[in-house]
């Protein structure tokens, strides 16, 4: 007998889980209240790497990168570009300099392809990157970037090709176990996967289930084209707290994290002027060009009480995937895969088990890249 599964949420995790469930024989319906990639995945930065200090994260990062590359090679509607990821702290920032060194040691211990690198070596390889004032730097070569919305749409197309029924512009609400209500009828399923990201807390609250996840706002902007775009790595400045990467001949610049909870359905979707101007000036110092901003926006991330996401079975037949601290898209192919495996009776990700919390824990939001 085929398992009848509902996946709620048409972002990167949702379409991946739906695709993988169908490939393994499940009868899958994906519900998206708007259109695919219309939520957080469509506003993500597309920075992807395996540079994590914990084994489970590093393994998920490596698996996701492998799937990104495989999809890029097999389809014309998705492109993934390999590119080194570099992060550093400034001279005089003793705490963060030591943190970078410790991270590299921890990452190497779990098999990550990372190393410390001198500012001089960085400048020699990436002449457009200004390295003056860098105290300690590290790099990860198992990394790259893409446009997140294109992944969602390509994987959505692949899901349809293997039999997933995708219902866009179809809001649903949880009812009792295994049941979903659309505006016109109630559907019953053997399992329900909530891949609703930052909306998950609200969705579950409607049926009285609390989770320790707080949605928070982040910001980004893109620049006009510049010759330096192809002469720099993906870069995170840990001291000043911002990142940038090549994007379509220009740059994508981001962070702008707000350390307080926001309503994921009612938040300012344009980036703040102060964020744009501050980080435009920072980029100008690091890549020696005057960036003209072409678009600026805000998106949402989810924080948890222990910085790890909530992924797996929350109640009998009810699965969740949320709270990724800004690292959701880059791990989505692996997370969706493992979630599908668990729904079909296999092993989930023990470290991310959502049942490790009561649901009412108090905690502060911490910026995901810190």
Instruction: Break the chain into its structural domains and give their ranges.
Output: 4-46+147-209+305-356, 83-144+214-303
The whole-number pLDDT of residue 177 equals: 66
Mean pLDDT value across the chain: 95
The whole-number pLDDT of residue 256 equals: 87
CA distance 151 to 67: 11
Q: What is the dihedral of CA 90, 96, 98, 104, to 10 degrees?
A: -100
**Percent of the chain having pLDDT more than 90?**
93
pLDDT at 167 over 90: yes
CA distance 244 to 232: 9
Q: Which of 60-74, 283-297, 311-325 has the lowest mean pLDDT?
A: 283-297
User: What distances in angstroms separate CA 122 from CA 130, 179, 232, 351, one per listed residue?
Assistant: 9, 55, 9, 35
Q: Which of 152-166, 172-186, 322-336 has the lowest mean pLDDT?
A: 172-186
Q: Give the residue carrying structure tokens 């211990």.
A: 109
Long-range contacts: 80-84, Cβ < 8 Å, 24+?
80/48, 80/144, 80/145, 80/146, 81/144, 81/145, 81/146, 81/246, 82/143, 82/144, 83/143, 83/144, 83/145, 83/233, 83/234, 83/245, 83/246, 84/139, 84/140, 84/141, 84/143, 84/233, 84/234
Mean pLDDT of 188-217: 96
The fourth-level CATH superfamily of domain 83-144+214-303 is D-Amino Acid Oxidase, subunit A, domain 2 (3.30.9.10)
Q: Alpha helices, DSSP H only, in 265-349?
A: 273-287, 328-343
The whole-number pLDDT of residue 346 equals: 97
Under the banding of pLDDT at 50, 70 and 90, the label for residue 223 is very high
The whole-number pLDDT of residue 369 equals: 67
Q: Which tokens hold the place of 126?
A: 């990436």
CA distance 227 to 129: 12
Of 175 and 333, the one with more pLDDT: 333
The whole-number pLDDT of residue 290 equals: 86
Q: Which tokens hold the place of 156?
A: 């959505």
CA distance 362 to 168: 35
Using one digit for the tens of pLDDT, what is the confidence trace for 103-128? Answer: 999 999 999 999 999 999 999 999 99
Under the banding of pLDDT at 50, 70 and 90, the label for residue 1 is confident
Mean pLDDT of 22-28: 98
The whole-number pLDDT of residue 366 equals: 86
Q: What is the CATH number of domain 4-46+147-209+305-356?
A: 3.50.50.60
pLDDT at 176 over 80: no
Give the other-Cβ count within 10 Å of 211's Cβ. 24
CA-wise closest residue to 229 among 284, 287, 292: 287
Mean pLDDT of 324-342: 97
DSSP structure class, residue 81: E
The whole-number pLDDT of residue 144 equals: 98
pLDDT at 300 over 90: yes
Q: Which of 8-12, 59-63, 95-99, 185-189 has the lowest mean pLDDT?
A: 185-189
């Amino acid at each position: 007998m085929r398992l009848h599964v509902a996946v709620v949420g048409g972002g990167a995790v949702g379409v991946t889980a739906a695709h993988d469930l169908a490939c393994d024989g499940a009868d899958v319906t994906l519900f998206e209240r708007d259109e695919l990639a219309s939520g957080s995945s469509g506003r993500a930065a597309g920075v992807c790497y395996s540079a994590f200090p914990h084994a489970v994260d590093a393994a998920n990062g490596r698996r996701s990168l492998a799937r990104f590359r495989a999809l890029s090679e097999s389809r014309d509607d998705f492109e993934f570009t390999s590119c080194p990821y570099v992060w550093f702290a400034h001279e005089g920032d003793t705490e963060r300099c030591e943190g970078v060194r410790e991270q590299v040691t921890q990452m190497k211990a779990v098999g990550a392809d990372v190393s410390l690198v001198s500012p001089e070596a960085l400048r020699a390889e990436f002449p457009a990157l200004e390295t003056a004032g860098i105290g300690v730097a590290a790099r990860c070569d198992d990394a790259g970037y893409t446009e997140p919305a294109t992944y969602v749409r390509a994987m959505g197309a692949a899901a349809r090709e293997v039999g997933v029924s995708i219902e866009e512009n179809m809001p649903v609400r949880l009812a009792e176990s295994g049941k979903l209500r659309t505006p016109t009828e109630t559907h019953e399923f053997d399992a329900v996967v909530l891949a609703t990201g930052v909306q998950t807390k609200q969705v579950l609250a409607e049926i009285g289930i609390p989770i320790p996840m707080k949605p928070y706002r982040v910001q980004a902007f893109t620049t006009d084209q510049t010759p330096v775009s192809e002469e720099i790595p993906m870069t995170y400045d840990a001291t000043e707290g911002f990142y940038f990467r090549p994007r379509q001949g220009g740059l994508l610049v981001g962070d702008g994290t707000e350390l307080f909870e926001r309503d994921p359905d009612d938040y300012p979707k344009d980036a703040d002027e102060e964020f744009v101007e501050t980080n435009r000036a920072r980029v100008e110092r690091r890549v020696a060009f005057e960036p003209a901003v072409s678009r600026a926006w805000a998106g949402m991330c989810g924080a948890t009480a222990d910085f790890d996401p909530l992924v797996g079975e929350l109640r009998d037949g009810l699965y969740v995937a949320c709270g990724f601290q800004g690292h959701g898209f880059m791990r989505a192919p692996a997370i969706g895969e493992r979630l599908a495996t668990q729904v079909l009776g296999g092993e989930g990700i023990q470290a991310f088990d959502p049942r490790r919390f009561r649901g009412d824990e108090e905690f502060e939001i911490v910026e995901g890249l810190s």
